[in-house]
Structure 1
């Protein structure tokens, strides 16, 4: 099959590029099948036949991914005509398999010839009609949709083809796309941005290298995170306790002053750093306010910054090895 069709150069991973890669696989298998005697080399012939029948994946990708998007563009011809062509070839495979397995040697070569002729005719129709028109009709975003669905079906190739996306890099701060969620929302809560389960929230807070304590607007401790290496020990007994009883007497006055200013709205942050057990500890308090600026409590955050303070220069490479 030596016909050449004028199709523009396409990037690696483009669905049509993959179809052309598969064409090389198909024609190679067909040529090998034609060189093998189905009678004297029955097992070899049967192996090639099985590999060639993987063309079914090609059919499924067209029927389930390419044809539906072409229908959206009001081109129904492939769905009506080429799908019927696929079914004809499927039936040829089914009948030929039955004859191979029952050793009906007198008709295997003839039926093989019919099958090969149908496959070549299909490849020619793809290249002369289907692919040129599909490329003309579909946008880059359409092809991205096609390729995304194809990954669930698979290809005739020995290795997964290159990825394909024409989307330009968009900084996360400027990405406002609403995407189809790939995870279940069962047992999750919706936060400002995103969804998490209680377990995920607990894991997040336990993993953060920070000590966090939340004191509500009534000066009661309502939460602290239970990390593996807390700077200052905590126990469940402080939940519901007034914050002034959760600090040493010498620092209570400072804590109450912070709360007073936060409640009045005159301040929003207070910071300290101390030496504790030969480590440098950074302690910060943040006022928590709702959208109407009403005071909702304070977050106390403590962090061991000893190693952070010693950082100099840059490290852009992973140093695991």
Structure 2
């Protein structure tokens, strides 16, 4: 590949090769040009390219007509690129398990076809016809979520190929024993096997990797839940699926990340200034000590109870307490580190106010200790509350 061709330039080269294929270039010529000018490409980029061609006006039917050629063009690269999802009950793994069963069934059909006997084919094709449920699961589970991400190619192109295979399957069953075996093999059975093999390749090397790139953890969990309604054609869902879904959801829960200046949590997004303002607005004083016993953060609430200055940051926590309370503080932290306690609370009278002080162990989703959170609150007025004050009473009492 020529030096200096960026990702977008590479995509344009591939799009041009595909367009030339559609104009009459032979697959071998296209493959040689691809290897010379492009070199390597990911399955996700291929899916994007086909989507862009549709966006530019190339009809889905035209893409569908040449998608087997496209797959052949990229086969040597794509075969090495796909990696299994980590989790055994991931929907992609379930689809791949189905494909393994389909491959075994196709191999049996090939073996029988060598004997040129229509008899055994009837039962095998009847079993293979269940592939309709495999395609329906893709259409109902995967395609809608891909469409939400603006990826319309599979539903427009691959769905059309599904229907082609369904029609070919019907013809293959209808024509059993009605013509010579050699003619049947050439016109009906071999083309059907070839199309199904090609669909398996496109699923595992283009559709599934692209889906893994695009869909969120939450979407995969929802797809897994919906498999209970659609089912699969050639495999049984685990008997403990509900429990596995819980484990899957826990394993795939995403850590917070920053995107476009926003902190993305599992339950929403916040800008940095929003998060800081929220912490400072809470009617409590917050101090966080990290796993190495260093003070890492404190909030700046308007009416802070205990004085904190920036000089305390990165200071050892034992140096931030009077000698008579250091041992107790360190004991609490030790309990948290060992997992013996999750919180400790106590309350004191301070300058005529009733102060509630709580220490919490902060742990990640796997239970690893991250630090200790101190939360201090003036509950003088809260302690004296009686009766009720409803939202409808707002304005009656401050």
TM-score by length of 1: 0.49
Relative contact order, CA 8 A, sep 6+: which one is greater?
1
Bigger helix fraction: 2
Rg larger in 1 or in 2? 1
If the length of structure 2 is used for normalisation, what is the TM-score?
Answer: 0.40
